[in-house]
Amino acid sequence: MKKTTFAVIVGNRDFFPGELCLAGRQNVLDVLADEGFNAISLDTNATEYGSVKTYEDSVKCAELLRENRDTIDGIIITLPNFGDEKAVVGAIRMSGLRVPILVHAYPDELDQMDPSNRRDSFCGKMSVCNNLRQYGFKYSLTDLHTVDPKSAEFRSDLHRFAAICRITDGLPKMRIGLVGARPAAFNTVRFSEKLLEANGISVEPVDLLEIVGAAEKLDDASQEISSKLQSIEAYISTAKVPENALLRVAKFGVALDDWMSRNHLNASAIQCWNALEQYMQITPCTLMSMMSSQLMPSACETDVTGAISMYILQLASGRASALVDWNNNYGDDEDKAVLFHCSNFPEQFFESAEMDYPPILARTLGQENTYGTLSGRLKQGALTFARISTDDTHGRIRGYVGEGQLTGDPLNTFGGHGVVHVERFQALLHHICNHGFEHHVAINPGNHARAIEEALDKYLGWEIYKHN
């Protein structure tokens, strides 16, 4: 994923010590560099201390933002002193940029409240926010009203803001491949393609027969098939899988990769049962796992909005996502559940895993026709879960997000599986059922719920419930 680039606007105001802006500007730029972000800011020779104080400064700043509009992912307003709210907000309006904005204010020191050192940024931040709201801009805040840029708290603010920027920038460019028709038994995964397109998310459909037909035309001995087999065997243990089944998986994978590449797709949702098992005698789960691991999320059962949920988490964290079922209660523990799928989880989600067949599908379709899934236990650790859905009746996109913990609780079962603990889990389950959400949910390591909620709810205008 590309480095996030921030435009830094340094606020300044007459009557306040302007020289504080010089060190203030540099401190923020240094911290951004330390944390791995790119920064664009007025040069100290362009305006007084590289700050924005007058209308003329606003014009220069706006021009800089326009020149870099294709690079800038978000704007940071930093206030080393009170800051001129009209100049700062005017620069953004004149630039025409519509990206997330973070408002930061420096703290005063109790022993430096004399006229030469007193900042009053505490007060100035309110004025800047007032003007941003008047001008119709959406903006984000640091956790603390005033905060030292060198502090751990501000660095955490930066990474959360960067996640917000990645989500709001990445989602409207998303292109999803819909491979095959929805499984007839799964009304659950219906969605509105028109609502997604209105939000910049494009769906490219293909008949499953086209991919199967292309796969069957491939020469078993070709170099591309050989390379795909090598990549599968390097990715996961295939000791339990017959060679003829592995060959069929590789052929389907080559055909799928070619179609995804030709259509410039960055995610997919696949009809994983039961036509593939009946007519090609495979499950595509390992191929889907490999794509998700390569940051091209792939969802089961043509769950397009599930793939979007995976992509949102991926944009927030920079790491691969998985799609799971909220599948079983865990004994009588009200705050725990079993997460499960056949599965197509990315390999890095597992403690250890192997390529196998899904016992549930095999009961009906036959073991010999269902090789291709991954089986193993999910790693312990913090996770974020998210789900979005198109509410066709009311013409909106809505969803939920929250955090939990994958535990080490004993569980003797098959497929991809793990035990999750979520505070006030029963309340979340009531929300899911009362609002008709799907049983699929996307998960991702780490804690990203706040950034996701803010990006989707505040900036994109989706209706998002944040659990806890």
Tell me the per-residue pLDDT of 318-373, one tens digit each, with 9 for 90 and over.
999 999 999 999 999 999 999 999 999 999 999 999 999 999 999 999 999 999 99
**Average of per-residue pLDDT values in the chain:** 97
Domain boundary among 142, 171, 200: 171
Task: Please report, for the domain that includes residue 118, its CATH number.
Answer: 3.40.50.10940
Tell me the per-residue pLDDT of 57-78, one tens digit each, with 9 for 90 and over.
999 999 999 999 999 999 999 9
Tell me the per-residue pLDDT of 424-451, one tens digit each, with 9 for 90 and over.
999 999 999 999 999 999 999 999 999 9
- From the list 105, 90, 169, 104, the residue with the least C-alpha distance to 137 is 90
Secondary structure E strands in 272-349: 298-299, 322-330, 333-341
- Please list the alpha-helical segments (H only) found in 334-442: 359-365, 425-434
Task: Please report, for the domain that includes residue 354, its CATH number.
Answer: 3.40.275.10
Between CA 315 and CA 27 the distance in angstroms is 27
Question: Is residue 110 located within the same domain as residue 215?
Answer: no
pLDDT at 2: 85
pLDDT at 287: 98
pLDDT at 18: 87
Helix (H, G, I), strand (E, B) or coil at 452: helix
- Going by pLDDT thresholds of 50, 70 and 90, the confidence category of residue 15 is confident
Higher pLDDT, 158 or 110: 158
pLDDT at 6: 98
Question: Is residue 166 located within the same domain as residue 199?
Answer: no
pLDDT at 200: 97
Question: Is residue 260 located within the same domain as residue 398?
Answer: yes
* DSSP string of 244-292, one letter each residue: HHHHHHHHHHHHHHHHHHHTT-SEEEE--SSHHHHHT----HHHHHHHH
Tell me the per-residue pLDDT of 353-364, one tens digit each, with 9 for 90 and over.
999 999 999 999
Q: Give the whole-number percent of the chain exceeding pLDDT 90.
A: 96
Q: Which two tokens stand for residue 169?
A: 């920038």
Question: Is residue 161 located within the same domain as residue 188?
Answer: no
Q: Which two tokens stand for residue 110?
A: 């109790």
Question: Is residue 152 located within the same domain as residue 212?
Answer: no
Tell me the per-residue pLDDT of 240-266, one tens digit each, with 9 for 90 and over.
999 999 999 999 999 999 999 999 999
Q: How far is CA 253 from the centre of its chain?
A: 25
In the chain, the amino acid numbered 193 is: E
Count of helices and strands (H, E) across the chain? 15, 18
Between CA 213 and CA 144 the distance in angstroms is 58
Between CA 446 and CA 356 the distance in angstroms is 28
Longest alpha-carbon distance in the chain: 82
* Residue 284 lies in domain: 174-466
